[in-house]
Structure 1
Amino acid sequence: MITVAVDERRSIRTVTLDRPAARNALTAAGLEALEEAIGDANEAVIYLEGRGPAFCAGADLAAVGDLDGDRDAAEAFARLGQRVARTIEESPAIVVAGIDGPARGGGLELALACDVRVGTPDSTYGEPGVTFGLFGAWGGTVRLPRVIGEGDALEFALSGRVVDAEEARRMGLISRIEDDPRSVAEEIAGNAHDAIAALKRRLRDDRDRAAQERREAEAFGELVDAHADDVDAVLE
């Protein structure tokens, strides 16, 4: 489900979401494996990608359906996703998301936790949870407005619409569009490793999100309780 490859010469760890038949959707086990792959890294740069035609469809809807309206279990699932996103954000490495194809829901939220987001011309972005009574709860309500601004964040999240790479760049969801996003990870890894690590610490050191993420998980649990039938309908 998660594969890891290391380029020792460049000091780049490539972490691949490797479940292409499910558009790299993540179960709890997949999230835990991703957390381990990021947390164990000693390289200067981590490159996060998805195998196949999608970057990541977010949470596996079957796993969400299995919560069966259980508010406590839903909050626990949200907190697991939040923990993985924090692991990405707080990694000493520079984490670059290379996004090709769809990044949806939790997949977009994990990308938001990365330090740099680079999309291909075929990449697309969306938070579709509102269409069936939920929302992304892996830290997205905290990070999205900080990345793209409150106005764009509200319109984007409330509409549930999908944006292409050009609009994503305009909004600030991604910083660059490249045919080969990995080239940006290699570019960063070519700089002094102590300098890029220090820059990340300085730019990230004022972002305490614990209270906001707790409220996000609680709200997600309430919605799973209220919309269990709607999630089941999506799965049918």
Structure 2
Amino acid sequence: MMCEVMPTINEDTPMSQRGSQSSGSDSDSHFEQLMVNMLDERDRLLDTLRETQESLSLAQQRLQDVIYDRDSLQRQLNSALPQMTVAAGTSIENNIQRTISCPNEFAALTKELNVCREQLLEKEEEISELKAERNNTRLLLEHLECLVSRHERSLRMTVVKRQAQSPSGVSSEVEVLKALKSLFEHHKALDEKVRERLRVSLERVSALEEELAAANQEIVALREQNAHIQRKMASGEGPAESEHIEGMEPGQKVHEK
């Protein structure tokens, strides 16, 4: 993912020059703590991703076990089905006993198979949820890495300049969330400005295209008028027309052309 690098944070702003030394130290410590919290959040999300992957592997293993049990039950069912057929030469009593026992066994196997199918569907749904959670975690990690990489250079330069200062406060989670919210709002405002400029540019292009089309139509009309005058001059009406043009004033000649 390509991420643009934000400019280096200016340390010598008018507000920082007018601020007191204690407030500047608090702001520096809060800024450094914000960076540390963002890195800790990334590590925590990586741990969550690893746990999710482990849960997914366990779910896949359970799914394989369920599939194996299903295949085993299917084999048992297939082996039990031939028993329903009556072999040639058996007595009527054996046929009646087989008719009574086989449907009961078949019903039990069918019930067990349905239970296995329900368990299999539940495992498939669980796997789908785990995959969706993994994808969401991956997207969140990519977004956080993009934000960190955008400000990486500025953060590095700021940390290097503030190595001699000792932190005097700890940034709270609320302040971290506020900082991230302000960052998102900043990027959102930039996107809105870009969209507005694009809309204005498109409107300007449309207006220029309309003006160009009107100018082209005017040029075509002038060319047709010029061709018509030339045809009249070629057919013998040229002298009268030329005398008429010579009798006109200069402004009228330009208008006639």
**TM-score after normalising by structure 1:** 0.21
Q: Greater Rg, structure 1 or structure 2?
A: 2
Which is helix-richer, 1 or 2? 2
**TM-score after normalising by structure 2:** 0.20
Which is strand-richer, 1 or 2? 1
